[in-house]
Amino acid sequence: MADRVKFGINAVDELPTDISSWNARSATIITDEGLAQTGMIDEITDCLEETFVHIYTGVEADPSIKVFEEALEFVRERDPDVIIAVGGGSSIDVAKTASVIHDEDGSVRDYIAPPTGGGKEITEPGVPVIAIPTTAGTGSESSPVSVISLPEKQLKVGISSKYQYPDLAVVDPRLTTSLPSNLTAYSGLDALSHAVEAYVTRPFDGKEQPQTPEGRPDYNGRTLLTDQLATTAIKLISENLRPAVNNGANLEARRNMSLASLLAGIAFTNAGLGATHALALSVAGKHNTPHGLTIATLLPAVMRFNAAAQPERFQTMAELLGEDLSSGSQRSKALKSASAVASLAEDVGVLGGLSELGVAENELPQLAENTMQLERLLVGNPRMVTKDAAKAILQDAF
Ligand SMILES: [Fe+2]
C-alpha cells in the first residue's frame, strides 16, 4: 500500500503540512481538464501558497501512452520536489510512472515489458507522489501498478514497480461528491470486483510455483488479512453504492464508498485479481470501453464460472451482499452472489451485456485468445481458465 494513508472528510485541507515534510518548494499537479475547471485544483493550489505549483491537465480516462509520454516530458522540464496526482486512477497512474522515470533515460515505452516495450527496469525511487483520488474505485492510490492503453495495438499493458507505490495517499471522501452518477457506479463496481477477486484468488501456496522467486507476480495470494479487507469492502459497497449513485451529495455513503475502495485496493494489491480483470483488459484494449463499466459487465459471468471452485466463499459473499440463504442447495446459494452483483449493477445503471459495449459476437474467439496472454492475472483465478472457458464466459456476458 501507499507508505502512508490519510483518510477522512476534509483530509485534503492538511496538504500544506503534509508537503512540508519533504521541504517541497515546487510541486507538479497531474490532473485532467474536467477537474481543473471545477475549482477543485484552484482550492488545492490556493492552500499551497508557499509552494511553486505547475499544473498538467492533459490526463484522459484510460490514458494512452501519448498522455504518459507527454506528462513525463512536463515533469522532466519542471523537475518538481513533489508530484500531486488529483483525479481518478488515470491521473494517479500517470503521476506514479512520471515520478519513477523522470530521472532516468528513455521513454515510457522503454519500461513496458517485451515484446511490446523495451523491458527496462525501474531501479530507484522517483519524486515523492501524493495521490488524491476523486473517485472511489480504482485503488490506484494504494497500488504499484499503472495501466497504459496502446491504441495502435488495441492493447492495455501495465507497468508495475515497488517504487510506484505512492508516498502518501490522501483519501478525502468530500472530493468525490461531485462525481457524476455513471462514474460513481462504474468506479464503485470496479472496487467491488477488486474485493471479490481478492477474496477468491488463490493463496500463495495454491498456485503453481514459479521457477525462480523473480518469476512470481507481485500478487502474493490471499491471506486472512486480505480476506478481512475484502469482506468489509464487499459489505460497504453492497450497502452504500446505490445511495451514493442516487444522491451524490450523501456524504455518509461517499465516505463508506471511499473507504471500501481503499480497503479493496489494498486487498487486491497484495492478494491478486483474476479472470474478470484479464477479460476486461482484453475487451477494453480492443474497444476502449471504460474500465469500471467493462468490469461491471463481466463480473457476474466470471462469478458464475468461479462459484463451483470456492462454494463456501461465494456463499459468504452472497450473505455480505444481502442475500437470503435460508434455503437452497450449496450451488444455488453460491450462485446468489453473482445474481446479487448483477442486480446491484442493474440498479446503478449498468443494464446491458458486452454487445451494448460495441462487441460483436464473432470477435469473442479473438478476445478469448488475447485474454490468455494476461497470465499474471489468470494465474490467481480460483478456477483454471482455458481459451474455451474464456470464450464461454464472454458468451455468457454477451
Ligand atoms: Fe479494476
Query: Cα of 231 to ligand 1 centre, how many Å?
Result: 17
Report the DSSP beta bridge partners of residue 146.
159
CA of 193 to the centre of ligand 1 (A): 7
Ligand 1 centroid, distance to 290 Cα (angstroms): 10
CA atoms of 11 and 26, how far apart (whole Å): 21
Over 90: is that where the pLDDT of 105 sits? no
Instruction: Determine the average pLDDT of the residues in 272-296.
Output: 94
What pLDDT digit, counting tens, does each position of 215-262 carry? 777 788 999 999 999 999 999 999 999 999 999 999 999 999 999 999
Mapping DSSP to helix (H, G, I), strand (E, B) and coil, where does residue 83 land? strand
What tens digit of pLDDT does each residue of 46-67 get? 888 888 999 999 999 999 999 9
5 Cα–ligand 1 center, Å: 20
Ligand 1 centroid to residue 239 C-alpha, Å? 20
In this predicted structure, the answer to whether residue 196 has a pLDDT above a threshold of 80 is yes
Q: Using DSSP, how many helices (H) and how many strands (E) does the chain show? A: 15, 8
Rounded to 5°, the CA angle 275-276-279 comes to: 80
Q: How far, in Å, is the centroid of ligand 1 from the Cα of 153?
A: 21
Q: What confidence tens digit (pLDDT) does each residue in 296-306 have?
A: 999 999 999 99
pLDDT band, residue 214 (cuts 50/70/90)? confident
Say how many Å lie between the CA of residue 46 and the centre of ligand 1.
Answer: 33
Domains and CATH numbers, the chain: 5-176 (3.40.50.1970), 181-396 (1.20.1090.10)
Burial category of 77 from C-beta neighbours within 10 Å (exposed 0-12, middle 13-18, buried 19 and up): exposed
Among 314, 354, 345, 342, CA closest to 330: 314
Distance 66 CA to ligand 1 centre (A): 21
Q: What's the pTM? A: 0.95
Closest CA to 260 of 226, 241, 236: 236
Q: What is the pLDDT of residue 29?
A: 97
Question: Is 319 a residue whose pLDDT tops 80?
Answer: yes
- Centroid of ligand 1 to alpha carbon of 4 (angstroms): 22
How far apart are the CA of 194 and the centre of ligand 1, in A? 6
